[in-house]
């Protein structure tokens, strides 16, 4: 299959992967950069992220392998990775921030949207930002991506809920200082 560029490849992989999971009855939600894109944010060229229950992760891996994806079980222990023929990567995340208990809540809050001609559950901007803020670490401080999301989708963020979910996390506090100073948070 000919590649149409990184973003086009991601959308194609997302569509094929989502259809395979949907057809097998596996509940999941589009997450990460493509969830932000689906909600009006910028394009991403990184990867596709699907959030699903831990008990569905192995089955999802087999379903996607049967659909022609190349599968990996990386050592991290909170996600699986699959690749299509163009090497577009899908992360199957079953324990975001090593907290599998939040997946059920994420799936309940996700709403159906049409993305690239397929309807699927898409995480809210607030949930995407919360997972990204809680993933920040001392040696992995990338405020650029969270500020880009806040700028592009600020009217869709429930700032009070986001603050409450991340209130005990110092790297999130630093983000709110930036967001407040840049007048992004309302």
Domain end (from 123, 147, 172): 123
Question: Quick one: pLDDT band at residue 180, thresholds 50, 70, 90?
Answer: very high
Instruction: Note the pLDDT of residue 3.
Output: 58
Domain end (from 70, 97, 123): 123
Span 104-155, pLDDT tens digits: 999 999 999 999 999 999 999 999 999 999 999 998 888 999 999 999 999 9
> Which distant-in-sequence residues (6+ apart) come within 8 Å of 33 by Cβ?
41, 44, 46, 47, 49
- Claim to verify: residue 108 and residue 139 sit in the same structural domain: no
- Claim to verify: residue 129 and residue 183 sit in the same structural domain: yes
Instruction: Note the pLDDT of residue 45.
Output: 85
- Claim to verify: residue 115 and residue 131 sit in the same structural domain: no
Q: Is the dihedral of CA 121, 145, 99, 127 positive or negative?
A: negative
**Domain containing residue 146:** 124-186
How many domains does the chain fold into? Answer: 2
Span 3-34, pLDDT tens digits: 578 999 999 999 999 999 999 999 999 999 99
**Nearest CA among 48, 47, 50 for reference residue 29:** 50
Instruction: Note the pLDDT of residue 177.
Output: 95
- Claim to verify: residue 144 and residue 103 sit in the same structural domain: no
- Claim to verify: residue 110 and residue 52 sit in the same structural domain: yes
Instruction: Note the pLDDT of residue 2.
Output: 47
Span 44-53, pLDDT tens digits: 888 999 999 9
For helices 125-135 and 159-166, what crossing angle results, to 10°? 30
Instruction: Note the pLDDT of residue 4.
Output: 72
Q: What is the mean predicted confidence (pLDDT) over 44-68? A: 96
- Claim to verify: residue 118 and residue 132 sit in the same structural domain: no
- Claim to verify: residue 10 and residue 48 sit in the same structural domain: yes
**Is pLDDT at 1 greater than 50 in this prediction?**
no
Q: What is the mean predicted confidence (pLDDT) over 93-111? A: 94
- Claim to verify: residue 20 and residue 48 sit in the same structural domain: yes
- Claim to verify: residue 109 and residue 128 sit in the same structural domain: no
Instruction: Note the pLDDT of residue 97.
Output: 87
- Claim to verify: residue 92 and residue 131 sit in the same structural domain: no
């Amino acid at each position: 299959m000919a590649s149409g560029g990184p973003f086009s490849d991601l959308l194609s992989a997302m569509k094929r992967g989502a259809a395979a999971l949907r057809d097998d009855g596996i509940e999941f939600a589009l997450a990460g950069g493509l969830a932000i894109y689906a909600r009006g944010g910028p394009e991403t060229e990184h990867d596709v992220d699907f959030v699903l229950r831990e008990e569905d992760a192995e089955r999802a891996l087999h379903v996607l392998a049967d659909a022609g994806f190349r599968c990996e079980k990386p050592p991290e222990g909170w996600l699986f990775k699959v690749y299509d023929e163009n090497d577009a990567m899908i992360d199957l995340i079953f324990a975001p921030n090593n907290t599998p208990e939040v997946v059920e809540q994420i799936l309940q809050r996700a709403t159906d949207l049409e993305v690239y001609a397929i309807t699927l559950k898409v995480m809210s901007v607030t949930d995407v930002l919360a997972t990204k803020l809680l993933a920040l670490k001392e040696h992995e401080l990338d405020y650029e991506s969270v500020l880009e999301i806040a700028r592009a989708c600020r009217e869709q963020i429930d700032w009070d809920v986001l603050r409450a979910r991340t209130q005990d996390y110092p790297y999130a506090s630093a983000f709110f200082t930036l967001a407040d100073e840049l007048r992004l948070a309302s």
